Structure 1
């Protein structure tokens, strides 16, 4: 039986997230005004992009550019397929990328596939907006490198220091990298790239680590985990527990005890 799920997360650049399992559905030729980032989890999909045939299979990404017709159906007659799709703003990639995507829509890059899986995981988790946004910006860099269309980026240490100061000042607040970029007068991709090169860690991992440090201090002076989650900037206690366990290998409760 066909199953679909779609939602619009409050994450910059993301128009829609679409998860679906289809037993027999075939898409007629159509277009989107967004970039379509297609991840196949089971089965395979055959499609035509500007009259050229392609196959989307697991362990690879398919990037369909905006305003270019494509269709889609199971690559094996009678077989189902399961997919996850991100619809991203048209300006997520520069306009010069459209021709590269038409020629080479299949991206067989393990880092890019891992980034998309991380994006979907973060979008499923309340409170991980910053992680999703950072991975979306990183994915753009990986895709442009894959196509050989990336421009040489310089490390901007002063900008990285300004971002770190902002992250420290707003450690427990909810904000986006796009918002930080506007305040600092930089493009989000350049902001993230400069920070990662300067400090060897992405902005969202830096924030998470600092929040975990704050949570540890609060737990050790006797604050209960639910209160600590709110005071340290986590969405809720479950959000705190998930990241606490990932970083420290134990739960907040066990750590406090």
Structure 2
């Protein structure tokens, strides 16, 4: 590793993501290599130049790069100051079959602000590591958009509202407030594609499923706090990881901590 390089890598508890990498390389240049996963790359500082299958490409901060599995590529900074990047490595079977590898080789960069913003949001969730349903929902929409790029169908026809499906998901979330439900489980229960499920719910109720679930958990926590239960116990009863997780969402929603909300 080059002098001054800063690298953080981990495997999140999110099905389909085999690794997350955040790195700052002041001078490092990657030699030619391959991955057994899809590489989804965004650059936060600098500009990256790379060769993919013997063709030269460049990645600026406004773009997203998708490098296919098992295809050689390298990487280096265009400018002397180096570059800062964030990478998701997706399991090889997440975006489709071998037929899409060629599409990624032909066009690995996408100037897609929506996709880039969704990736930025997902990285933030993965750093936190506590918002399972949010991470699953964001990844589902990211993978769908990447598949649309690979198939050159980035602007699909608008979908009709599906209030019945949205109501089914809301009932399921309400029934499993403390324990929660994964997006895959919810999609199986209501017999819908995960991406369509997220969009249908968001369109019908004005907020995504993970935000609805968090809000309902905060409401449940309020009731327990008003019963005089301690915040550490309330966090578990309401479905949060721990008291700090409860504190963060409670303060964000109500402007005060749980300890200051309920009168003694």
TM-score normalised by structure 2 residue count: 0.85
Aligned counterpart for 2:258 among listed residues 241, 252, 257? 252
1:210 aligns with 2:213: no
Q: Are residues 1:170 and 2:173 paired? A: no
Counterpart Cα distance in 2 of 1:164 and 1:99 = 40
Q: Which moved more, 1:165-174 or 1:193-202?
A: 193-202
Distance 1:112 1:247 in 2: 27
Q: What is the CA distance between 1:34 and its match in structure 2?
A: 2.0
Q: State the number of aligned residues.
A: 256
Residue 41 of structure 1: how far off its partner (Å): 2.0
Structure 1 Cα separation of the partners of residues 140 and 53 of structure 2: 27
Could you tell me whether the CA contact under 8 Å between 2:49 and 2:56 is conserved in 1? Answer: yes
- Give a deviation string over 1:23-54, Cα, whole Å, max 9, x none: 33222222323221112122221112233322
Deviation at 1:164, TM superposition (A): 1.7
**Mapping 1:1-257, distance limit 5 Å:** 1-76=4-79, 78-95=80-97, 97-144=100-147, 147-149=152-154, 151-152=156-157, 153=159, 155-257=161-263
1:155 touches 1:193 (CA, 8 Å); kept in 2? no
Question: 2:56, 2:262 → 1: CA distance?
Answer: 58
> Structure 1 residue 61: deviation in Å?
2.0
Cα distance in 1, alignment partners of residues 249 and 106 from structure 2: 40
Secondary structure of the structure 2 residue equivalent to 1:115: helix
Please tell me whether the aligned partners of residues 12 and 129 of structure 2 are also in contact (alpha carbons under 8 angstroms): no
State the alpha-carbon separation in 1 of the partners of residues 96 and 163 from structure 2.
25
- Asked if structure 2 preserves the Cα contact closer than 8 Å seen for 1:9 and 1:16, the reply is yes
- Could you list the runs of 5+ residues in structure 1 that have no partner in the other structure? none
Tell me which moved more, 135-144 or 203-212: 135-144
Deviations, residues 121-167 of structure 1 (Å, cap 9, x unaligned)? 11122421211111111223444566434654554443332222211
2: distance between equivalents of 1:193 and 1:44? 33
Let me know the Cα RMSD of the aligned residues: 2.4
Cα distance between partner residues in 2 of 1:99 and 1:191: 30
Alpha-carbon separation, structure 2, partners of 1:155 and 1:99: 35
Alignment partners' CA distance in 2, 1:109 and 1:207: 29
DSSP-derived class of the 2:249 partner: helix
CA contact (8 A) 1:111 1:142 kept: no
Q: TM-score, normalised by structure 1?
A: 0.87
Asked if the contact 2:63/2:110 (under 8 Å) is kept, the reply is yes
CA distance in 2, matches of 1:90, 1:203: 27
